[in-house]
Amino acid sequence: MSLIRHHVAGKETGAGERTGQVWNPATGEVVGEVAYASVAETEAAIAAAKAALPGWRATGLVRRADVFFRLRHLLVERQDELAAIITREHGKVLSDAKGEISRGIENVEFAAGLVHHLKGEHSEQVARGVDVHSTRQPVGVVGCITPFNFPVMVPLWMAASAIACGNTVVLKPSEKDPSASLFLAALFEEAGLPAGVLNVVHGDKVAVDTILDSPDVRAVSFVGSTPVARAIYERGTANGKRVQALGGAKNHMIVMPDADLDAAADAAVSAAYGSAGERCMAISVLVPVGEETADALVAKVAERMATLRIGDGTDPSSEMGPLITREHRDRVASYVTGAAAEGATVVVDGAAQEFEGDGFFVGTSLVDHVTPGMKVYDDEIFGPVLSVTRASSYDEAVALVNANAFANGTAIFTRDGGTARAFEMDIEVGMVGVNVPLPVPIGAYSFGGWKSSLFGDSHIYGPESIHFYTRSKVVTTRWPDASESQIDLGFPSNH
């Protein structure tokens, strides 16, 4: 069985004294072992990044941009190979894997514009003979800790922006699907990135804590669950680091009585069950306004669920694959079996659906009459379970969303422009969709939620990532005649 090792300073490293198993979720078979980095191995990766920093920071912006142009070409050229790696270890269907790659490429394209992004400002003659200009400079070594559900897209969200800004990176991907990160590192270096600028270490809390505690790591980016995001933020900031930690979500989709219910049902099914619900932007709560709207919408969603094809992600006919692990599948199923006891109505019970083989499959579930306080509502399930929480009015629906601890994404379906505009103003959520169920911003904007969905001040990728991965420096210059020099103990004035 192959050992998946670390990638440090352009070389494969790691003795594999501690390892974990890597599974194919569609078959339930172990397909490899991944080395878990020790403290010493993680420190070696950090040291490699630190050693590569001066040279990469000194590399001209046009030369850096050229790396990203070439990387984009390689990602497009080899997307089938990369998608197959994602599907093998994560389980998502190939079309979904390719979609993930395409969204990662968006940030590579954004990063290629670094010559523009890193421009400073200049003010001439702010006082007699005095000019002021600002620059953006890299923070240094950056730690990137990424989740299992997007093993290509999220690393590209982080590493592309960090590297474009002149930083070097230690990437710690999920140990559940580690191979895609090594493929990315190889593509970066084939595109011309010097060895040591992007390093990959696999593992668990040992590697993460070493990154968080190292004085040589100046900034940390994280995507994962809210409890871990909070812990990452607190430990990292306590050690003086700049930290952005994106946490969990419970995304609501409000459907007004005037909405196109067929379009809303299509959107709800797509957004709830795509990638088996293992998305932080998945719609997990459907909020129809009015009993008539709710009854019709539940019927339409259930009708569409009956036609979904669940199977191995390598099968072109499959629309949804398995969950990432057997334990996670059982946890997701427990929410459905417990929903009735909490007073909800299980309309479609995916937990009862049986599948051939040993894969980690679960069916899609629809649970109606769900209210806050039920576990099926309160918890981030991260699986193909769609709850329906009925509201009697627009105001009640908005109040429901705004009361939730999570504030990652939300959507409203309506034909009324006034309602849509009011929703944009009223809702307290970081990413908002109007007749768009998954409002993931394009690469020219930034991604991130509010409240317990984000710890830190900066959203990920896009313009905010440039600010996160750089520090602003302001320089004031004066070139006076020697004859004008004099002692002045007063506070500097620009007059």
Residue 79: how many CA atoms within 13 Å on its side-chain side? Answer: 18
Measured on CA atoms in the order 65, 69, 103, 56, is the torsion positive or negative?
negative
Got the DSSP string for 176-214? TS-HHHHHHHHHHHHTTPPTTSEEE---SHHHHHHHHH-
Q: Are 136 and 118 in contact (CB under 8 A)?
A: yes
**Catalytic annotation, pick one of 280, 323, 366, 386:** 280
CA dihedral 52, 156, 88, 335 (to 10 degrees): 120
- Spatial strand order of the sheet with 409-413 comes to 345-348, 365-368, 385-388, 283-288, 251-255, 409-413, 431-434
The whole-angstrom separation of Cα 350 and Cα 305 is: 10
The whole-angstrom separation of Cα 221 and Cα 198 is: 14
Closest by CA position to 365, among listed 343, 387, 382: 387
Stretch (H or E) spanning 395: helix 394-403
Cβ atoms < 10 Å from Cβ of 116:
10
**Residue 144 catalytic?**
no
Burial 18-28 (b: 16+ CB within 10 A, else e): ebbebbbbbbe
379 is written with which tokens?
A: 């918890």
Cβ atoms < 10 Å from Cβ of 87:
25
The whole-angstrom separation of Cα 53 and Cα 163 is: 10
**Catalytic residue ranges:** 280
